[in-house]
Structure 1
Amino acid sequence: MNKTNKIVDGWLVLQYQSGNEKALALLVKRWHKKLCSKAYWVIKDKDASKDIAQESWKTIMNKIHRLEDPNRFGSWAITIVYRKSIDFINKNKKENDKLHQYHYDKGVIANGEQIDNDDEKKAILSAVNSLPEHHQMVINLFYVEEYSLKEIGDILNISIGTVKSRLFHAREKLKAKIKYK
């Protein structure tokens, strides 16, 4: 997450906490699509992801005055969306196994370079999608969404050590899966 964006978000949070209603409108404008995207990333249902984002905004509005570090608004908001998405999955688990699968809309980045070869991209996406859900999440948050280890820990409510461990094991599994293809 860009440091400048964190500062702007932090300032907007402080403004809203001080009673400036327009600051909330700006936060919504800056974050609503991202929150919908995060919900969709977890549940793979466009309509439900919009509902989850709306519910998340209600929670954000009710609890934003308790946010101690306004510069952490982004990871805090995404944590709310993530948890509401997981609740949705748990409530609707029986309906469809697709809710647990990841499908990246954009190309996976390997060694810092965009993958051009469609076959390679498909192989990597297939390998990532075959990982356990907790490994898929850390791979997506770290490489695609470019969150820091600390932010990932906050979003998933796990320690930095656990984030590092999951990334390591996910990479090892990906290496093994891609070698055999």
Structure 2
Amino acid sequence: MRANNNIDKELVEAYLAGDKTALATLVKRWHKLFCDKAYWLVKDKDVAKDIAQDSWTTIIHKIDKLKNPNQFKYWAFRIVCNKSTDWLRQQTKNQKRIIGYDMEIESREGHYSKDQIQKQILLEAINALPTNQNEVVKLFYHQDYSLKQISELLNISVGTAKSRLFHAREKLKNT
């Protein structure tokens, strides 16, 4: 893992020094993984590709602010996760009234079971969580990451990951 971090560090430093091929190499190394991560979150291949591309735009514009080039992987994945979460939040916002209205009509007509409605409400509640809690819940429950793995991926302490998961659970209990 350190070897990969050193490669990323060297590429970031080379790009910042003016080597445009270093950026192309970073893109080759990470673009597919960014698309995969975005797809895991948004469940739409085309949107995932757009998010990955938008993430690269942000990465290019802000790479000079990256304090530790060894942390490129975590920093860049954070950007992809944030962009994905922003997209999901916007979709939820746009569709919340429509979904609620449709579910109410379908429920009256008997098309949705009580379990389906509860699952949809839970999903909406998870999507409504603050970004940092939403990510931890999805990584912990959907991708079965351990708290240690989550802390490494998001570049936070294990205690912070536990705290975010705890607070997310508390909010979901009140839903």
The secondary structure found in structure 1 opposite 2:31 is helix
Aligned positions of 1:26-175 closer than 5 A: 26-93=25-92, 94-95=94-95, 133=134, 134-138=136-140, 140=143, 142-143=145-146, 148-154=149-155, 159-165=157-163
Give the direction of change, closer, same or farther, for the CA distance of 1:149–1:136 in structure 2 (3 Å limit): closer
TM-score after normalising by structure 1:
0.62
Structure 2, unpaired ranges of 5+? 97-122, 127-133, 168-175
Give the direction of change, closer, same or farther, for the CA distance of 1:91–1:70 in structure 2 (3 Å limit): same
Kindly name which structure, 1 or 2, has the bigger radius of gyration based on alpha carbons: 2
Q: What is the percentage of aligned positions where both structures have the same residue?
A: 45
Q: For this pair of structures, how many residues does the alignment match? A: 131
CA contact (8 A) 1:42 1:86 kept: yes
Cα-to-partner distance string for 1:30-52 (whole Å, 9 max, x where unaligned): 00001001111111111000000
Q: Name the CA distance, whole Å, in 1 between partners of 2:150 and 2:89.
A: 26
RMSD: 2.9
Deviation beyond 3 Å, 4+ runs, structure 1: 146-150, 164-169
The Cα of 1:159 is off from its aligned counterpart by 4.7
Q: Name the CA distance, whole Å, in 1 between partners of 2:76 and 2:165.
A: 23
Structure 1, unpaired ranges of 5+? 97-129, 170-181
